[in-house]
Amino acid sequence: MSDATPTPEQPAGEQAPDFAAMTRDIAEVPAVEVIVTVAVNLMSAAAVKLGLTEDGDEHKDLDEARKLVHALAGLLDAGVTEISSFHAAPLRDGLKSLQLAFREASIVPDEPGQGPGEKYTGPVYG
């Protein structure tokens, strides 16, 4: 049996992923790049859940947005000392914009200091 033979879990035409190559690839990526990439992914997902995309309200879900913004704030709080201010400053600005967007989108806004991620950033005022 060759490596290209499909298994029941693997549709015909797809090859099994080369985990050794993936491991080598990720080993070459600097930690700063991984942290920034994860932060940007969290920001993008939060923006979608806040309804800030072209589709707007179609994907809006403030409960999910709260979780994503809070996770982003925690990541930045923990990682900001590990990345340069060149990388940290725009991420902090993006986080604050998301926190303000969350406050504006909420029917009953959280008290200052109680919004998503404000445990890490301090109160965000509109």
pLDDT(41) > 50: yes
pLDDT(6) > 70: no
Higher pLDDT, 5 or 29: 29
pLDDT category, 2, cuts 50, 70, 90? very low
Burial 49-82 (b: 16+ CB within 10 A, else e): bbbbeeeeeebbebeebbbbbbbbbebbeebbee
| Spans of all domains in the chain | 30-105
The predicted pLDDT at position 1 comes to 44
pLDDT tens digits along 50-82: 999 998 889 999 999 999 999 999 999 999 999
Instruction: Look at 23-27, 29-33, 47-51 and tell me which has the smallest mean pLDDT.
Output: 23-27
pLDDT tens digits along 14-23: 777 787 777 7
Q: Please return the burial class of 92, using the count of CB atoms within 10 Å of its CB with bins 0-12, 13-18 and 19+.
A: middle
Higher pLDDT, 2 or 113: 113
The predicted pLDDT at position 26 comes to 81
